[in-house]
Structure 1
Amino acid sequence: MSRLKKRLPENHPKYVEVCQDLYNYSMRLGAEERVDQGIRSVCFTNPNAVFQNILLRKHEEPPQVLSNDLMQEIISTLQSQNPPSTLKPLCQQYSIRTKDLKKGLFCSDCHFHLLEKSSRMYYCPNCMNIPDNPFADAMTDWFFLVGPSITNGELKAFTNITTSSIIRYFMKRSGYVKTGNTRNSVYHCELKT
């Protein structure tokens, strides 16, 4: 939701609702880890999914290095207790049109608009951060806010960058799975393995 708050203009009618929901969500989660009755619970991206830490039931302090057996037990418990979550895009959830979102590239640290230093380098004038691939962050915003796939043209409009070659250069380096060739290329919300 913080991605939506970053991209939603403050004068938008849904801005207050999004901020309130973001506050309520963060209060509901509390911290990423809470200690309840001596058993540590870890909250994952699905707020309904909680994994009771096997380590603290067996040991007072977790070991520095996990054995393969213990790691496999953790993996199987995680997979059985945490079914995949199907997230609805936030724009759909809050009935916000894509054209109402702020366009451009934003700093991942302070959410300030990035400025172009050269054709393939951007920087934040506020905190002086120089991101490796600001378009990968914009693509991630798109996946959370709008939908599970994005084209070169959609990313151009979303970032206000007019040069297709720059968009293509950064999209190839984003780490997301690509289907199709040339004009029909679509990037999906899956990372390459």
Structure 2
Amino acid sequence: MPKALTPKQQKFVAALVAGKTGVDAAIAAGYPAKSAKNAAYQLTHDNQAVCAELARIAAALSQKADYNAHKAVAEIDGKIVAAEGAKQFGAVAKFLELKMRAFGLLRDKLDVNVTSHIDIGSALDDARSRALQRPMRDLPVVIDAESVGAHAPQLNGPIDLKSTVRPRGDDGGSFFEAGMYD
């Protein structure tokens, strides 16, 4: 049987039931702001007395409201049938998602805890050594070219895409086809 709640724990539970977040409830209960997130997690996950009290309050509220998970799922089932009849398959998918969440089959948040230590420095060294061991590929041939801009008299006519770049000759001078830039 869980122990009785301490005054701090009672204040925490009361703040949670009032609608505060776990961190805000921990701060309201008197836990330090720096460790409020950790305190809220431990109280709601590891502390059996607090968990039992929260479960008792939830059961009392459910009974008082006369609405529980079974009624919610039955209501969702009715909505699924109605949506299927109306051929609203997007709504059917959403109701099925809600039903899966009600049964705990879907979770919004994923907790990932990495227990192994990763040494980034050695991983980078390994990657560098692998890169140095690979054979170098031939570099592409670089074509020496100069771009030619349109001159003022040519702005009114069509643009000749073939004449936008002109290759240089071996002597460094340019060579052109006859009549290309007349």
Q: TM-score, normalised by structure 2?
A: 0.29
Q: State which structure, 1 or 2, has the greater radius of gyration over its C-alpha atoms.
A: 2
More relative contact order, 1 or 2 (CA 8 Å, 6+ apart): 1
Going by fraction, where is strand more abundant, 1 or 2?
1
Q: TM-score, normalised by structure 1?
A: 0.28
